Structure 1
Amino acid sequence: MATTTSRKKTTARKKTRSAKKPTRKWSARVMKTSNALDLQDRIFKSGNAEQIARSLKRSAERSKRRKGTPFQSAMSMLNFYINRAGKNLPARKKNILEKAKNKLRVLFGRAER
């Protein structure tokens, strides 16, 4: 006598994998399409703290879409760039950007005495 084993039929489910989504660079989009400032192209690549500060001040004062004061908008964008770069920001570049913060304070008359 032949023994029959009853097995449940299992339907093989195929896992459908969609194509891998490209990594979203939300911070890069903010830098390009900020609703607060229209930044000069590649301004943060400049090696001159004075030039960076003057450009941020000009952009902040011309903007009609910002929510805060021009000083707040300019300083916020500079801090955003520094924080976005994080550990990947070379020390030399970070020093330039920190100097740009001080120059920005002076330009807006907010320097500590």
Structure 2
Amino acid sequence: MSEHIVPRKVYFVVFGALMVLTALTVFAANIDFGVLNDVIAMTIAVTKAVLVILFFMHVRYGSRLIMLVVVAGFFWLAILMVLTLSDYNSRKWVEQRVRQSTIPSEAGR
């Protein structure tokens, strides 16, 4: 099995892109985008993760089987996140219990 030789320039370009995305993350964290804060943060994080996986882990130059395993892993992660977040969002009673526990009682006065 022959290894693919990646030029150093590719690594430096990817490293530069990761540094720009990191600076963008810091910049975005200091600005209030309202409901888009989480979406922007996750988009930047996923972009950085994909760059690391494709280039530093050599998935881009690997076989189709390796790419299939990586895609299947991301698909499984997405399923787990959707199921977890849907369960969390369906539990409205958690908010009510937290609110009740933070109200000072009359007996303590």
Q: TM-score range by the shorter chain?
A: 0.3 to 0.5
TM-score, length-normalised on structure 1? 0.33
TM-score, length-normalised on structure 2? 0.34
Greater per-residue helix proportion: 2
Task: Point out which structure has higher relative CO (alpha carbons under 8 A, 6+ apart).
Answer: 1
Q: In terms of Rg, which structure is larger? A: 1
